Amino acid sequence: MSQAAQKLYTPAEYLALEETAKYKSEYYRGKIYAMAGASLNHNRITRNLTGLLFAALGGGNCETFAGDMRLLIEVEGLYTYPDVMVVCGNPVLAPNSDSTITNPLVIFEVLSDSTSEYDRTDKFDLYKKIPALQNYVLLDQHRAYIQCYRRGEGRIWSVETYHLLDENLNLPTLDIELSLKVIYERVEWPTPYSTHPEQSN
């Protein structure tokens, strides 16, 4: 027996549903995907990161968006909610939406068990289609472990890894450094704990 075809939504229908939804959802190629709730560690890292960015960027022309600000990757038609984004200069809004931007310079994602593989692979491939994007930063919530991807010439991306709490995450794109100790402040890990991924239990 064949299954009934899944309903496909237009971007306008999706945006209208999001206005009254009790939870956030992604939209891609006509389909709507509910986003899972965030853990305590996830929320603490996002809060710490947002506070650090606000202080580091000061009164310059860059600003931080977190939580409810949506992102549209125009060439792919993906609507999603990165954990934290930084835009420098004027935010470029998507058509017919004052809560969707299209031009982040840096995107931060705190990895969750259910989405970490997607964030590292398929979602990263979609993010690469954002012309303005220069850095993609992945933060592990189960250990001090950060991967910072940097756009190079053409399609080349390099990655720098941080796994010690006394290190600083270096973001030359924004001309700032962020302390891992502060990013992971009050984050709770299982014991015994190792900051090196190859040594973690």
Residue 66: strand pairing partners: 84
Is pLDDT of 201 > 50? no
Q: Assign a CATH topology to domain 38-199.
A: tt1808, chain A (3.90.1570)
Model pTM above 0.85: yes
Say how many C-beta atoms besides its own lie within 10 A of residue 54's C-beta.
12
Show the beta-strand stretches assigned E in the chain: 25-28, 31-34, 62-66, 70-73, 78-80, 84-88, 100-101, 106-110, 135-139, 146-151, 157-162, 168-171, 176-179
Closest CA to 105 of 147, 58, 64, 138: 64
Query: Which residues touch 129 (CB under 8 Å, ≥6 apart)?
Result: 73, 75, 76
Closest CA to 64 of 46, 82, 44, 50: 50
pLDDT value at residue 192: 55
Q: Mind listing the pLDDT tens digit for each residue in 104-128?
A: 999 999 999 888 999 999 999 999 9
**Taking the domains of the chain in order of start, what are their residue ranges?**
38-199
pLDDT value at residue 36: 80
Is pLDDT of 200 > 50? no
Secondary element (H or E) of residue 12: helix 11-20
